[in-house]
Amino acid sequence: MRKFIVMLGPPGAGKGTQAKRLSETLGIPHISTGDLLRAMKTLDTPLAQKVQVIMARGDLVDDETTVEIAQDRLLEKDCQEAGAILDGFPRNLVQAESLKQWLGEQKAKIDIALLVDLPRDVAVQRIVGRAKQEGRADDSQEVAAKRYEVYMAETAPLIPYYEAADLLKTVDGNRSMDAVTSDLLTAIQGL
């Protein structure tokens, strides 16, 4: 039976890493919005061309287009059969409501929202550390702090949203990768 899982947590919490691990273990496709947007740069479809124009202007991809990109991917065979682990989508309440409505039309629903929780100072340290490790200069202490603030303003409101729907499970992300994965799998298996 297909499952739709939303990954939540601040930048640096390891959502992408955990989503990949869960995908490999459970056989559910990992859908990363960032990966989808990067792939759009090389595709030649009407949707990809729309995204390329938006990105060429230096603008953020709007909610409506982001939802369209996600829906397009969720209609592919692997997601239709197994569901998806959504990483980076929904990013705000507008996207969450659109996803809920669209999944309902597809006779599906979000089964669980997994919050990989991490204190602000640890999240900022991880972002900066990862940037240094990858040789990127774009994630300074200031930029990392700004990314965290954007998360708190735009994405953190999804925490009470999914909590109110009785779908939220929180895992302490300030532990070893294996411990976090184990707790996430336990939460999913409890469905």
- Positions marked active-site: 15, 91, 130, 136, 147
Nearest CA to 17 out of 27, 7, 26 is that of: 7
Query: What is the residue type of 129?
Result: G
Structure tokens at 44: 């030649």
Query: What is the residue type of 9?
Result: G
| CA dist., res. 166 & res. 128, Å (int) | 34
Instruction: List phi, psi (to 5°) of 119.
Output: -65, 150
Long-range contacts of 135-140 (CB under 8 A, 24+ apart): none
The answer to whether the CB of 118 falls within 8 A of the CB of 10 is yes
Separation in Å, CA 151 to CA 2, 38, 46, 101, 123: 29, 20, 30, 23, 11
The answer to whether the CB of 32 falls within 8 A of the CB of 87 is yes
Q: Any idea what DSSP says for residue 99?
A: H
